[in-house]
Every structure is written in structure tokens, then in C-alpha cells.
């Protein structure tokens, strides 16, 4: 079973840390300017991050065998696919806050850093909880299954509804601690009192009224509000994705490294998905199928310990299911595209 603890020598941990830190520094250095990332560049960088992940998978294959490498690749592919739905939510958040394309990768960068930190916390908690017994896996299976059911019931209707993010918990928490400057000021998340005074002195801002910062000494910009909503949305997403990847392996390094390398490529993958969103119309259905599969796998793992049956899903079988479902979702999107554009054109003509 893929749920057994494997244990890794210090050498493997060191390779993972060096690759991860190096990748973060490369990402920070290469995307510092406030410019949109072109589709071609986003595709090439996305392929680069995939190559980094498979380089680590190759290291695991050489030093720990095919099963360990397959567990990592399965967890990586699963996290990558599940993250797609989260990226679509982030697109809606950016649209509501009217964040310019050039500033989006800055928000995504700090969003990725936050995701890395919170995933580490959740993985540590999740893998620790599993030591309490197989009943914990049944709880995880219920969480993942419930998420799949809710996505299935929504039927994609949420795309037609514009959520008011001013009522979001993260938005209200920022307003509680900081006064708000209502306009973007470059890529700044926070403004000092002197900077706000300079902005208020401009004729175009004459009608804006804001209170004094007081003890806070800083004002939050719409970019800060957007980042807070993105971060909390990702935390909520982690409640589903972490149990899903834990279903692949209980080994913390396998789980965290798979999620880590998947998350590192999300910033550039966002711009790829933004350009291809209208074509990947059936990808969410693939995500729902995978969530049901993971819920079943978690349930089988748990009941195998409780009732001592032999019905489990191997690491290689899990990898095969994830890849096949992902391929089917992408393939179906191009073979059976939704004709939304034609419907909208007909409405405009009428």
C-alpha cells in the first residue's frame, strides 16, 4: 500500500530543500517587473516547473525506487489538477478587484508563498492525525467526497454569479486592522500616511475621504485586500487538497514535496489557464471524478484496517487513474466544446 511510512535520509531532504529554495529564488528574480506574462513565456515557464518536478521524481526513482517515484508523481499530478479549480476562483477574484494584468503575478507570488507555508502546516497536522487510527481516513474521505458532491451540484453555475468579495471574511479582517485607500497605487500593498497625504493632494483624488491611519500607520490598498482574499481562499482549498494528496501516501515528505512542486508552477500556469479557460470547459468534471476516486481510495484504505479486507488501490493504479482522467477532461474539452459564444451572440442580436 502507498500509505506506509517510508522514511528518507538527510540527503533526500537536502535535495528537496535546495531544489525548492532555488526554484523560489528563480521565480522571484525572473518575474520582478510589473508586466503581464505573455502566453508563450507562461507556457515555457510552466514546462520548466514540470521539468523541475520530474527531476526530483528521477532522483527519487534512482535512490528510492519506482514505487516512491510513482507516489510522488501521483501526488504532484493530483495537486496540479485540483489546483486548476482554485486558479479559476482566483481569476474571478482578480476580475472583481479589477487588478491589472501587470500586477497579477505579484499577488500570485505572495499567494504561492502563503500556500507553501500553509500546506506545510496542514500536511504536518494531517499526517499526524492519521496516527490516531483508520477512522481519521474515513473523515478525510467524507470531506473529499462532500467537496465532489458540492461541485457536482453547483454544475458550474458559480461562473455566472459575481460574488461580492467585500463581504468576504479576509476583506473584513483587513478593514478591521487597516484603514483603506480605495485606489491602486502601483504594486503597493500598503501605503504610509505620508504617501496617502501625497495622493490626496492630487486634484483627481480631491473627493476621496479617508480617516487617519493612527496607530496602524499604514493604509491597505485594493491589492492588499485582493491578496488577503486569495490567501484565505487557498487556505479553504487546502482543506480538500491536503486530504486528497494524503490519500496517495502518508509519508510527509512525499505529500509536501508533491504539493510544493505543484504549487511552484501555479503562478505561470495561471496565465496559461487564463488564455485557455474558454477551451478547457470539461476540466472541472475531471476534477470532480478525481475527488470521488480519492474519496473511494481513502475509504478503502481505512476499511482495510478496520475490516481487514484486501481491496486497496496501488500507487501505480492511482497514477494511471489520475493521468487518464486528466487526459479525458482535456480531450473532451476540445472534442465537445460548449457553444457559449454562439448563445451570447444570439442574445446580442436579439
The pLDDT, as a whole number, for residue 1 is 37
In a domain, 182, yes or no: no
User: Nearest 5 degrees, angle CA 221-CA 223-CA 224?
Assistant: 70
Task: Convert 271-295 into a string of H (helix), E (strand) and C (coil).
Answer: HHHHHHCCCCCCHHHHHHHHHHHHH
pLDDT in tens, 282-333: 888 888 888 888 888 888 888 887 777 778 777 778 878 888 888 888 888 8
Residue 228 pLDDT greater than 90, yes or no? yes
Contacts of 21 by beta carbon, 8 Å cutoff, 6+ apart: none
More confident residue, 155 or 137: 137
Within a domain: 268? yes
Q: Do residues 49 and 265 lie in contact, with contact meaning Cβ atoms separated by under 8 Å? A: yes
pLDDT at position 57 over 90: yes
- The reported pLDDT for the residue numbered 335 is 85
Give residue-wise pLDDT tens across range 159-172: 445 577 888 899 99
More confident residue, 27 or 340: 27
Q: Determine the pLDDT at residue 339.
A: 60
Residue 150 within a domain: yes
| Gyration radius of the chain's alpha carbons | 22
Closest CA relative to residue 71, chosen from 87, 89, 57, 85: 57
Question: Does residue 58 surpass a pLDDT of 70?
Answer: yes
Domain count within the chain: 1
CA 64/CA 70 separation, integer angstroms: 11
pLDDT of residue 314: 78
Apex 270 CA angle, 147 and 219, nearest 5: 90
Band of pLDDT at residue 347, cut at 50, 70 and 90: very low
192 lies in a domain?
no
pLDDT above 90: percentage of residues in the chain: 12
Please give the residue that has the higher pLDDT: either 306 or 212.
306
CA pair distance 243, 251, nearest whole angstrom: 13
Which residue would you say has higher pLDDT here, 209 or 121?
A: 121
Q: Tell me the per-residue pLDDT of 270-282, one tens digit each, with 9 for 90 and over.
A: 888 888 777 777 8
Give the integer Cα–Cα distance in Å for 159 and 137.
Answer: 32
User: 4 pLDDT exceeds 50?
Assistant: no
Residue 305 domain-assigned (yes or no): yes
Alpha carbon 138 to its chain centroid, in Å, reads 24
Kindly tell me the burial class for residue 115, based on how many C-beta atoms sit within 10 Å of its own C-beta (0-12, 13-18, 19 or more). buried
Give the residue numbers spanning the domain of 103. 10-158+238-349
Burial per residue of 44-68, b for 16 or more beta-carbon CB atoms within 10 angstroms, e otherwise: ebbebbbebbbebbebbbeebeebb
Q: How many CA atoms lie within 13 A of 154 on its CB side?
A: 15
Question: Is pLDDT of 2 > 60?
Answer: no
Q: Does residue 137 fall inside a structural domain?
A: yes
- 226-246 average pLDDT score: 86
Q: Does the pLDDT at position 199 exceed 80? A: yes
- pLDDT above 90 (res 152): no
Residues, the chain: 350
Inform me whether the pLDDT recorded for 216 exceeds 80: no
pLDDT at 312: 79
Query: Does residue 186 lie within any of the structural domains?
Result: no
Whether residue 21 is predicted with pLDDT greater than 80 in this model: the reply is yes
Gap between the Cα atoms of 274 and 41, Å rounded: 13
In a domain, 191, yes or no: no
Amino acid at each position: 500500500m502507498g500509505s506506509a511510512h517510508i522514511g528518507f535520509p538527510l540527503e533526500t531532504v537536502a535535495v528537496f530543500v535546495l531544489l525548492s529554495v532555488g526554484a523560489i529564488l528563480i521565480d522571484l528574480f525572473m518575474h520582478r517587473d510589473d508586466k503581464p506574462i505573455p502566453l508563450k513565456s507562461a507556457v515555457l515557464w510552466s514546462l520548466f516547473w514540470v521539468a523541475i518536478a520530474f527531476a526530483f521524481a528521477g532522483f527519487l526513482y534512482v535512490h528510492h525506487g519506482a514505487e516512491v517515484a510513482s507516489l510522488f508523481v501521483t501526488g504532484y499530478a493530483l495537486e496540479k489538477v485540483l489546483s486548476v479549480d482554485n486558479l479559476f476562483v482566483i481569476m474571478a477574484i482578480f476580475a472583481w478587484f479589477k487588478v491589472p494584468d501587470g500586477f497579477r503575478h505579484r499577488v500570485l507570488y505572495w499567494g504561492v508563498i502563503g500556500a507553501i507555508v500553509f500546506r506545510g502546516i496542514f500536511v504536518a497536522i494531517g499526517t499526524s492525525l492519521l496516527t490516531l487510527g483508520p477512522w481519521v481516513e474515513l473523515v478525510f474521505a467524507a470531506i473529499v467526497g462532500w467537496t465532489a458532491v458540492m461541485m457536482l451540484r453547483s454544475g458550474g453555475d458559480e461562473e455566472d454569479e459575481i460574488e461580492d468579495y467585500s463581504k468576504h471574511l479576509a476583506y473584513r479582517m483587513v478593514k478591521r486592522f487597516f484603514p483603506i485607500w480605495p485606489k491602486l497605487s502601483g504594486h503597493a500593498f500598503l501605503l504610509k500616511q505620508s504617501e496617502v497625504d501625497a495622493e490626496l493632494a492630487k486634484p483627481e483624488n480631491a473627493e476621496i475621504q479617508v480617516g487617519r491611519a493612527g496607530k496602524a500607520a499604514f493604509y491597505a490598498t485594493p491589492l492588499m485586500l485582493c491578496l488577503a482574499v486569495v490567501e484565505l481562499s487557498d487556505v479553504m482549498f487546502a482543506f480538500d487538497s491536503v486530504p486528497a494528496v494524503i490519500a496517495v501516501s502518508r509519508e510527509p515528505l512525499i505529500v509536501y514535496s508533491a504539493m510544493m512542486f505543484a504549487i511552484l508552477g501555479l503562478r505561470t500556469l495561471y496565465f496559461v489557464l487564463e488564455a485557455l479557460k474558454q477551451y478547457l470547459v470539461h476540466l472541472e468534471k475531471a476534477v470532480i471524478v478525481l475527488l470521488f476516486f480519492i474519496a473511494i481510495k481513502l475509504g478503502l484504505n481505512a476499511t482495510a484496517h478496520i475490516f481487514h479486507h484486501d481491496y486497496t488501490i496501488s500507487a501505480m493504479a492511482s497514477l494511471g487513474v489520475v493521468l487518464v482522467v486528466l487526459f479525458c477532461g482535456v480531450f473532451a474539452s476540445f472534442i465537445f466544446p460548449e457553444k457559449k459564444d454562439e448563445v451570447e451572440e444570439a442574445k446580442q442580436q436579439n
